[in-house]
Amino acid sequence: MEKIDLRVNSKIGVIKLGSYFAIGILLTCLPSVDFNFLEQGTLSSKTIFFGYALIFISLLLLLSTIQQQRIEAVFNLLDIAILLLLFFIILNRYYFHSFTYSIHFLDLIGLTFFYFCLVAIRERGIFKWLGVAIVLSGIMQAVVGNLQLYKVIKSNHPQFITGSYFNSGSY
């Protein structure tokens, strides 16, 4: 049986450990976020929560980098390809077409930023715990779906079980 050591590793630091915990909370809770008081709350609340969580995680990772007093940037071919794709999409959106508000565009920028936050994590052992967070998120959605099936909580669609999403396709 593997022993779990909960002591703070001096190499990791408290701030970086906090950023790992925040990423785990983000992955676990994001699908369940649903603010009904917003316009299209099931979509826009997830984007707003994701954006604020990314700001918080980025600040924690920045503080941990400053605390280590060692700034190192390494880009591989995939990173450059993602940046070029994002640049092309932004150029296409603002230069070649008229500007319109799109929540999916904000999600794309957020996901790109989240990718670079994950790349900034150097300890590879943390990714198994992030996988556990994703599995917990799926379990939470299954519980919500069953509660909707038995009419304990209201579904976001009048005909289908949706979990905390707007339509049943993503559920």
* pLDDT of 55 above 90: yes
Question: Structural domain boundaries of the chain?
Answer: 14-74+122-149
Q: Quote the pTM value.
A: 0.76
Closest CA to 166 of 85, 45, 51: 45
pLDDT at 35 (0 to 100): 79
**What percentage of residues in the chain have a pLDDT greater than 90?**
23
Q: pLDDT tens across 75-113, in order? A: 889 999 999 999 998 888 887 777 777 888 888 999 999
* Half-sphere CA count of 19, side-chain side, radius 13 A: 23
Is residue 66 over pLDDT 60? Answer: yes
Structure tokens at 56: 């918080």
120-140 pLDDT, tens digit per residue, is 887 778 888 889 999 999 898
Task: Compute the Cα dihedral for 159, 164, 166, 167 and give only its sign.
Answer: negative
54 pLDDT exceeds 80? yes
Mean pLDDT of the chain: 82
